[in-house]
Structures are given as C-alpha cells and as structure tokens.
Structure 1
Amino acid sequence: MPRDNDFTLELTLRQHTPLIHFQADQPGATLRATELKPKLDRFLLKKNSKLPARKHPNGHQSLDYKIFIEPLEEIEVFPLEYPLMNNKTQEMKRDRHGNTVNGTLSTFFANMGPEWKKKPKKLVFCPNTKVTISSLDTELIRIIRENISEFFMTHNFGMRQSKGFGSFTVEKIGTETVEQNWNGLDYCFQVDNLNQIQTPNTYYKHKAPGTRFKTMEKLFYAIHRFHQTLRSGINENGIYVKPWIFFYAKDKGIQWDKKTFKQKFLGNSCVKEQKEHHNATKDSPIGYQSDQDNYLVRDLLGLSTNQLWRKPFEAPYMSKDCINKYGFTLRHPKKKKNSSNTSKSADKYPGSHPKKGNIPLNKIKRFASPFIYKPVLKNGVWYVGIATKKIPPELFKHNFILIKESSRNVADMIEDMQMYPKFTASDFFKFVYDKRQQIANHIKAKKDNQKHLLIQSMYQSLQKVHP
C-alpha cells in the first residue's frame, strides 16, 4: 500500500547564481513553476517516451504532477546595472549626451530598448528554496526522484541561462543530503582565486554594488573569457588570443570565415596589406587559404545577428583606401517574430541591392550557443560545468545571406553561404579538450598579464566528467 511520501517529493535547492527576473519586485519572486515544469516534462519524456503524457493542441506534452515552490530564506533583489565612475573626476561616468554609463555582468547585454527602460529586469537570489512535487502516480514520483538531480545539474533558468545565470542544484531530497556530481555534463573547469580576478569596471562609489554582485561579476567575467577563447577570440590591449573555432576549421580544411568576409568586403589588396604587416603565415587566420567551399563556422557557436567592423584607430600600415572600407555592419537579415510567411513584404529585407533589387530574409531568426555553462560553488571553490547540445538540423538546411550595411544603405552582400555540415558541438569540444595544453600557443601576451593567467588556469583545470 502506498505511503504518504510516495505521492510527494520534497527538494531543497541550492542557488549558485542569480536569476534575471522580469517580476523581481513581486513577493516570492524566484524560480517559477511555469518555467520549471515544462522543462522537467521534456527532460523526463526524453528519458522515457512511454511515460503517460497529456498531448496539447500546440503539440506540447505534459505529465501529471504539480509543483509548489517556496523560498526558505529572504530573497535578495539587486540591479543588473550600476553607474560607472570616471577615474579622473571621481564622479559618475557619462556619455557625450550626458547619460549615465552603466556597467553590468560580462555575459549579459544591458537593459536596452523602450520596454527595458520602462521595466528593467533585476537579479534575484535566494540561497535555499523548497520545491514540492506531488502526484497520484507513485511510479512517476519514483522516476522523478531518480532523475531530479541530473535535471537540475544540466539546466539553468531565466534569461541568459546558457551562460550560467539561474543555476540551481539539489541539496536535499527529503532529509537526505544529495552528493553533488556532474551527471549529465561533459566537461568542467575551475575558477581559482575568484577574489583576485580584476574586472574592467570601476563603479561610482556612492552607488556601488554589493558583495553578491561583485562576486558574480568576477565569475561571469571568467566564463565570458573562456567562451571568447572558443568563438570570437580576444584582441585587446595587452592580449591577443586566436579562437579554438579557427583551429578546428583549419583542421577540417575550411577557410576562416572572417577572411572570406574581408576578401569580399575589403578586397584582396587590403587582405594582402594585413598579411604583410603581421608577417602572417599560411597557418594564421588571415593567411590560411582553403580549396574547399567557404562555410560559416563561428556562427555554429551562436548565430550572430550582426557584427560591427569598426574603423581602425591606428593602422599606419594600412592604405587610406582600406581604412575607408571599414566602418560597417555585417548583418544576418531575419524575419521578425510577428512577420507572416505568406506576406511578400515579410520575406524582403528593408533595403535593396543596387543590382539585385530586394533581398530575401534568412529563415533562421536566432540560434543560441550549443553549450550550457553550469556554475557550481562547492566547498568554497567555483566550478563551471559544460554540457554540449545538439544543433538543430534545420540550421544546416538553409543558405544564409550576409549583408554589408553602411549608413543604412545596403552596399554589398554574400549569398548562399552554408554552415559547415559535419559540425557537432561534441566533436568540436573534444577537439578543444584533446588540444587544451596548446592554449599557451594561442595567446600573445606578457607572462604576467592577468587575463592570460586566468585563461591558462581555467584550461589547466579543464577535465572530462562524462565517460
């Protein structure tokens, strides 16, 4: 005969990183059941497709259980942005229009647009939260009990969850303490000496953030730097890092797509100038030439809707003609959310090519990074787990159009570029892991450069956690 606790599962969750919450000022604002349950349903049904699920008209499936969430401690609510300080005047930093310049967390793009200004999202944090799951189906409760720790280890919540916001783990099931493991993740790295990490922002002393924000700023700064080494690389004062995706593309015999863009939009003569100035070898991003078809590769780690190509500040080696070709946006034109597929105007870019007339829009609106970062504080040390996700097959089925915009006029475009069809996130990260000891060869910086040391320490601790 079933006991009372066979119908109910009580969890104590530990929160590691804050949620970006759109109702932060409401009482009890924390993890939302309306986000948690659909995710848990999908996770369980992926584990066992034969579970009795209710099918909804929209195609979604749901399982028969209820969730109740209760914060066990006071919820901290704090802003996502804080005013920066002008180091010379010691006053608030302001832009040329007199507006306050704010600093935020590295992996978050600041509150922008009219909706953000009306009701900006905030960060919420509650160290411990109680989650009660109840159902008359005792077998379903048993299955949830067996899988709930892995579920929370492989999922984050709220906005920017793939970058580590909204990280929870199961601390207890009932009164039983749960041993933390990396079940469901693929890799992890350690962020050593978090307090010694130097972030670039200096906050205005009269409105400075508290300890929680400063800790998160350092943690997300480290995650941001790690992700840059995978996709974009780093080119800042004092440090230059070639991204792993370039080395992966070269290993597959694919030309670096930034070189393809430069050849198209700046011209071969400008590419030649850069190669000569940097003494670029055939193994460098600007020097490597492939006989294969050109593919998009960086966007497989997250589709960038636009890239700003700024004019160089100081480039005495570059001709005036080449410098003048800079200062444009490279854009993936895409459909808006409310665009109708049947409307002719919805399939056209709001601009035209001087020779080809109206330009069709890309069908893929957005594609997030195929990695999930899972920050976990364990015994006073920050670890960041990594899960690799499958890339949606439709991403490889479409040709992409890239448009060069200058002063809002469409100047030129590249048609019919495709994503590299054999790419998988797991294969890419295995490539990174197998060659992780070579990270020092990717970096040009002084030995005591703090960014250099941070990157090296993260790669030295990188380990595989899934057999």
Structure 2
Amino acid sequence: MNVIKLEFSLKQITPMIHFQNENGATIRATELKPKLDRFILLWMAYENNKVKCNEQKIDSETEILKKIVKEKDYDNWIIDEKHIALNYKMRIKATCKDENKDLLNHSNKRQKYLGNANYILDNRNKDEEDKYVSTFSKKILVKIICFDELLADKIIELLPILIDLTAFGLQQSKGYGNFRVDEIFKENKKQQYKPDIERNYIKLLKNFNTINNNVLVYKLELDKEKNDKINADYAVALNAIAEYNRFLKSGLRLDGIYIPSVIMKKYFKQNGYNIINEKKAMKQKLHLAKYNIENLTHHDNKKIINNYDFSDSGKIYYTRGLLGFAQLYQFSLCIKKNHDKFDIIPRYKNGKEKKAFWKVFDVKGKIGKEEISRFPSPLHYHVSENYKEIYIIVNNNSLISLQNENPIITFKEKYAKEEKQRKTYKKDKKEQVEYVQFTAKLPDTKKFDFESFFKVAGLDTILFMANVKNKFNEIYEGEYFLTKLEDNQNER
C-alpha cells in the first residue's frame, strides 16, 4: 500500500469563535475532513459529467454522492460508504496564538463581539451564559496521510479551493473563521502553489455551473481610488459584512434611527409583487388581537398597516427566509419615544423581573408532513487577505431546491406567563390562551432569484457603510463597490 504524506500550511485571516481558549485551539480535523470528503466527490461528479439529474430539489446533493460512492472507480478511495468517508487520515495543529489579533487586547472593557454575532468573548464573569472566545493562530498545519496517489493529487488540487470556500467556528457564514492555504508540501517537497482566492472561485464556477447556476459569486471591494490610502483591518471587513447583510435582510439603524429594509421592499415593489411580508403580518395579527401597537400602525398621522384579508393566506410571504430561516423571530413592539404608550411586557430571568418591549414568534417550516429543522443562509461571506475585498458566495442551488418544494412556514406567538396583553377563552372550564399565529409561503423562483436581487442590492454601484468600525472601535468611513464574478473571466 502506498503511503503519501501531505502537509498544508494555513494562514488565518479572521478571528475564529469557539469554546476553547488554548494555544492549540483551531480548526478540528473532525469538522474539516467530512467537508473535504464530500467536496472532492461532488466536484468529481460534476467534473466527470456524472450528474444525471437536472432537477434542483432538496437532498439532490446527497443523492449524487450516494451514486458516486458506488462507482467502481473509487473502490480504493472510499472506506465508509454510509458516512461517505475517504481513505486518508488528517491531523491539524496550530503553532501559537497571535495576541496582536486578539480582540480583547484592544479594549479595557469587557466587550461583545464584532458585527452582529452578539457572543460574549471571555469567561471572566462566571454568571454569564454562552461564553465564547476568539482565537487567532499564527500558523496552522494540516497533515494528511493518504493511501492512493490519485486521491493525494486530488486533495492537493481541491483542499485550497475548499478552504477559500469554507469557514470554521461560530458565525462562519459572516466572515469569521476564514483561512487560506499558504504552502503545500508532498513528501516534504514544496509544491508550486500561489494563493489566489479569486482564481479558485472562478474554478468553482466553471465546475459547478455546467448544468444550472448552482453557485454565484459577488465581490464587495473598497473603492479602488481610495484603496492604497485606507488601512483596512479584519474588524472593518467583519463589521462591513454585518452591516451589508443587515441591509439586505432587515434594514439598518443609524444613531437610533431605523432605516427601512430598502433592498427587499424595493425588490418586490420594483418587480410589481404586491405581497405581505411576515413582519407586516405579525403586526396586523397583533393589532387584531388587541395588542396596543398604535405607534407601529401609524406614522406621521398616516396609517401604515392596512386591514389585510387574512382569509387569503397565499398573500403572506416569508421574505426574510430567502436569506435563511430563523428558529425565532423577534422584533420590538415599541420605539423609544413612545414607551409610555405601550403596556410593558414583563420578562423573568433568574427570578428577577425585566421589562421588555419585544414580541417573539416561533418559526417552523414544513414540506408536506416533514418538518424543516433549519435552512442556513445561502449567502456565505469571505474576506481577502488584505481585508479590502469581501466575497459573497451564493449557494443558489440550495434556495432554488427549497423554493421548488414550496414549504409552508408557521409563525406562532410566544410570551411569558406574566404577560398582561393576551386574549383568552374558556375551554373545559379552564382558561386557555389564544396565540397569535399564521402561515406564510416562501416566494417561488418566479417571484425571487438572486441574480435579479443583487442588481437591486447595489450591483456595479458604490455603497456607503454607515456604522462600520475598526478594531479600535473608531468609525471607519469607506466606500464599497459590488461586482459579480463570471466564470468566463481569464484565469490569472
């Protein structure tokens, strides 16, 4: 049996959020190897034209992989058909932490994480729950022992692309936990390799878009005229990602003033679709249930919530769900200047009463009788090594597959036992709570597609990010330019 030794040197680009705060804490082989196994087989399925099914549907990727593992060509590669595991061993080691890129060292105060992660960075306060740390390693070594020459060459070819395409730890889709392959060694001999994230993305497009537009790639870059003058850092990139993603999904807040979600609203209005999104439906349902949300139904003496006919449930759409499902949907029932006009909802934590102005809905999706446990965001953000470009990888196939299944999403109100505002009825001589709930659909492929969406979201235009800060918590004024990568571009 041939034994081929490979070694990949990785460079960390952005902080990784996880539970361990040790010098050697980094990517886990148990997370990277399964991803690489699936990626190699899926890549080869498209590369060798073994993809038989043009239909985009849920679990199509798993079906393709099951067919591939049965191919005789891969007898020496696969050691576990059930878990789709390839015949090589992996070990990962981080040399030491880079304290200069530890976020805690840039503030005397115990702070929350950058962007919209909202995770506590350290565990100095033992009473806090959900403690996480950020780690930034100077160098990471991925050592692989492989038992097939062709498989070893495939790993050399595809691991750099997977690393550019994947992130690790918490909030990995928002730019955290980014790495790059820096050097490659085979049997202790350095291989010819020059890191080029854009070239790898073009390879990705060429391989996976032979049948459908399964993958789309967009680039958000600093204004080229200012590029050389701007000292960008990872905090600027991560905060820009958080700001832009919020802008796409739900709107922005600037100095306490809410800027509406112009992207989603503008997109559907521009395309002539008169729909009710989930948040409007929530407000109207709460209003009909006698919740005091007068301040949310009127603006400048103009009524902004109509009496929609909810008998036609087909009008309600889960527009935010196009960018990923959430298990809970939470929004404020009140704005600061009208606190006195709203009956406060009491919340209790550790036996202590806390006043809140928030309403929470459970979100559950179903395809037929099967419940959708989760639908991660089809958007995955990656940061360039110089922090001046942000690449948006769009898993177009995952959204189209879900749209084709026409899921039904249910929103059901949650509230504390002590909440005053509730509507009750009696059943079997017991007082029961009547929850506010409704169902919604996901806009289908005729109503929503990502290529049209990103044209509205600022394609080929300069965008200004208002709340972006650097790692020293200073306002960073920069302009961003959104473009689309095409697979017909010349490789560098």
Q: TM over 0.5: same fold? A: yes
Alignment map for 1:159-178 (pairs within 5 Å):
159-174=170-185, 175=190, 176-178=192-194
Work out which of the residue numbers 213, 223, 230 in structure 1 matches 2:241: 223
1:278 Cα offset (Å): 4.6
Which residue is 2:383 aligned to? 375
- Residue in structure 2 matched with residue 97 of structure 1 by the alignment: none
Are positions 1:24 and 2:21 aligned together?
yes
- In the alignment, is the contact (CA less than 8 A) between 2:266 and 2:456 conserved in 1? no
Alpha-carbon contact 2:11-2:181 (below 8 Å) kept: yes
Q: Give the drift of 1:64.
A: 0.3
1:196–1:81 distance in 2 versus 1, CA, 3 Å: farther
Question: 1:178: how far off?
Answer: 2.0
Q: Give the Cα separation in 2 of the matches to 1:125 and 1:424.
A: 44
| SS of alignment partner, residue 186 of structure 1 | strand
Q: How does 1:110-189 map to 2 (within 5 A)?
A: 110-111=119-120, 117=128, 120-174=131-185, 175=190, 176-182=192-198, 183=201, 184=204, 186-189=217-220
Contact 1:13 1:169 in 2 (8 A): yes
Per the alignment, do residues 279 and 45 of structure 1 end up closer, same or farther by CA in structure 2, a change over 3 Å counting? farther
Could you tell me how far 1:240 is from its partner in structure 2?
A: 1.8
Cα distance in structure 1, aligned partners of 2:138 and 2:307: 50
Aligned residues of 1:157 and 1:166 also touching (Cα < 8 A): yes
Point out the more displaced range, 247-256 or 295-304: 247-256
Task: Point out the more displaced range, 29-38 or 411-420.
Answer: 411-420
- SS of structure 1 residue aligned to 2:197: coil
* Correspondence for 2:334: 311
Give 1:106 shift: 1.5
Task: Tell me the residue number matched to 2:36.
Answer: 40
State the alpha-carbon separation in 2 of the partners of residues 194 and 22 from structure 1: 36
For residues 288-309 of structure 1, what are the alpha-carbon distances to aligned partners after superposition, in whole Å with 9 as ceiling and x for unaligned? 9898521211133232313032
**How many angstroms does 1:399 deviate by?**
3.8
Name which of 444, 461, 464 aligns with 1:422.
444
Taking the TM superposition and a 5 Å limit, the aligned residue runs for 1:202-241 are 215-237=233-255, 240-241=259-260
Deviations 1:222-244 (A, max 9, x none): 11001011101113326624242
SS for the counterpart of 2:180 is strand
Unaligned 5+ runs, structure 2: 45-67, 205-215, 346-355, 424-433, 470-474
1:439/1:456 contact within 8 Å kept: no
**Which residue identity does 2:16 align to in structure 1?**
L
Amino acid at match of 1:10: E
Residues 15 and 128 of structure 1 are in contact (CA less than 8 Å); yes or no, is this contact kept in structure 2? Answer: yes
Q: 1:333 to 1:259 in 2, by over 3 A?
A: closer
Distance 1:19 1:70 in 2: 15
Amino acid at match of 1:403: E
Give 1:401 deviation, angstroms: 3.0
Asked if 1:402 corresponds to 2:423, the answer is no
Partners of 2:417 and 2:32 in 1: how far apart? 44
How far apart are the structure 2 equivalents of 1:440 and 1:287?
35
Distance 1:244 1:108 in 2: 22
Give SS of 2:41's match: helix
Pairing 1:53–2:69 present = no
Query: How far apart, CA to CA, are the structure 2 residues paired with 1:465 and 1:165?
Result: 25
- Select 1:386's aligned residue among 392, 395, 410: 392
Matches within 5 A, 1:417-456: 417-423=439-445, 428-437=449-458
Does structure 2 retain, via aligned residues, the 8 Å contact 1:14–1:171?
A: yes
Q: 1:436 to 1:102 in 2, by over 3 A?
A: closer
CA contact (8 A) 1:82 1:102 kept: no
Relative to 1, partners in 2 of residues 1:423 and 1:286: Cα closer, same or farther, differing over 3 Å? farther
Equivalent in the alignment of 1:104 = 113
The alignment's C-alpha RMSD in Å is 4.7
TM-score (norm 2): 0.65
- Residue 360 of structure 2 contacts residue 414 of structure 2 at CA under 8 Å; is this kept in 1? yes
The one-letter code matched in structure 1 to 2:382 is K
The alignment-based identity, stated in percent, is 23
Aligned to 1:64: 87
Q: Letter of the aligned partner of 1:429 in structure 2?
A: F
Q: Does the alignment pair 1:260 with 2:290?
A: no
- CA change 1:158–1:438 in 2 (3 A) is closer
User: Cα offset for 1:194?
Assistant: 9.6
Aligned counterparts of 1:35 and 1:177: Cα–Cα separation in 2: 24
Alignment of 1:331-346 (within 5 A): 331-332=361-362
Corresponding pairs, count: 392
Does the CA-based 8 Å contact 1:306-1:331 persist in structure 2? yes
C-alpha distance in 2 between matches for 1:364 and 1:218: 35
Counterparts in 2 of 1:274 and 1:165: CA distance versus 1, 3 Å: closer
Query: Partners of 2:458 and 2:300 in 1: how far apart?
Result: 25
- Residues 79, 86 of structure 2: 8 Å contact kept: yes
Inter-partner Cα distance in structure 1 for 2:451 and 2:298: 34
Instruction: Tell me: CA distance 1:157–1:142, structure 2 relative to 1, closer, same or farther (3 Å).
Output: same
1:263 and 1:271 in contact (8 A); partners too: no
User: 1:399 and 1:156 mapped to 2: Cα distance?
Assistant: 29
User: Counterpart in 1 of 2:5?
Assistant: 8
Cα distance, 1:119–1:308 mapped onto 2, change above 3 Å: closer
So what's the TM-score if we normalise by structure 1?
A: 0.68
Matched with 2:261 is 242
The 2-side partners of 1:134 and 1:103 are apart by 40
> Corresponding residue for 1:340?
none
